[in-house]
Amino acid sequence: MKKIKVAVIGVGYLGKFHAEKYKINKKVDLVGVVDSNKERRTEISKKLNVLQFSNYKEVLPKVDAVSIAVPTNLHYEIGKIFLENEKHVLLEKPFTSTLAQAKTLGKIADKKKIILQIGHLERFNKAFLKLENIIQRPLFIECNRISPFKIRGTEVDVIMDLMIHDLDIILKLNKSNIKNIQAKGIKVLTNKADIANARITFENGCICNLSSSRISEKVERKTRIFQKNAYFSIDYQTNRLDTYTKESNKSVQSIKRKSYQYENNDSLKKEIESFIDCVKSKKSPIVSSKDGINALKYALQISNKIKR
């Protein structure tokens, strides 16, 4: 079976993990890693025993597909070149800096009939996949995503850095158009919003409250969903889903709790396996360019409301 030739563009914190997952994938030939930082690309290339390149254009003729894990402001420029040259692309979130850029990349991928997958990692968490199968009609959703401060990722605000994950999730779980958005945020350690809160009302009546911070003491990634006669709590950090459902007979009402713990969850490994399977089978990716555009659209709306 022909292996898919892949390169990773950008091997900083996240790109390094992409490269490691490709290296152990039996359907992949990791051709090399690309980074403008010589010390970094040398370190990763030696560790994984692959070639290193300073310029992404060097790998164009050598690959079938790439992962792009560079700063957001470079996503469009680099993604466009690979897509126009009919190379399949796994592009880290957020999709691009602007909605127009994202739509352009989506159109190129559609025209060329190639895979463009956006890196919304939580969609591949086993706890989320379980939740997705049992959720029916959410009435209220609460999302909390907080982390300690890191210089990495501060080229964008906390909405594009963290909250966008939860925007993608709620748009997947509640299939309704958004009616109204209220948002507040503040700058603390950077010149962009470091803490933000958004309240979203959907046309079907569902309400969602999202809070994100990148200047907290701890890491927390939790979502709580309420629907009639049921409550669900998912912890992406511990890969755990708790469900609470109302049960009743003629005389007694009670709450039945079930817990699902996924010890061996590896969302990035699953994301990359899914990407490679889509490349091989030509099937649509789980997180499509349309999904990436929708999450980006509302992330930008929230960011702009806070700026105003």
Q: What is the CATH number of domain 4-119?
A: 3.40.50.720
Contacts of 80 (CB under 8 A, 6+ apart): 104, 105, 108
What is the Cα 190 distance to its own chain's centre?
Answer: 23
Residue 250: per-residue pLDDT: 65
Closest CA to 224 of 206, 237, 203, 242: 242
Identify the DSSP state of 154.
T
Contacts of 39 (CB under 8 A, 6+ apart): none
Q: Which two tokens stand for residue 291?
A: 């999904």
Rounded to an integer, what distance in angstroms lies between the CA atom of residue 137 and that of residue 257? 19
Rounded to an integer, what distance in angstroms lies between the CA atom of residue 64 and that of residue 86? 8
The domain locations on the chain are: 4-119, 123-265+297-307
Residue 252: per-residue pLDDT: 72
Point out the residues of the chain with pLDDT beneath 50: none
Instruction: Give the β-pairing of 140-146 and 4-9.
Output: unpaired
Rounded to an integer, what distance in angstroms lies between the CA atom of residue 225 and that of residue 135? 9
In the block, residue with structure tokens 């979502």: 223
Confirm if 13 and 152 have CB atoms less than 8 A apart: yes
| Structural class in CATH, domain 123-265+297-307 | alpha beta
Count of Cβ atoms closer than 10 Å to residue 99 Cβ: 15
Rounded to an integer, what distance in angstroms lies between the CA atom of residue 54 and that of residue 38? 7
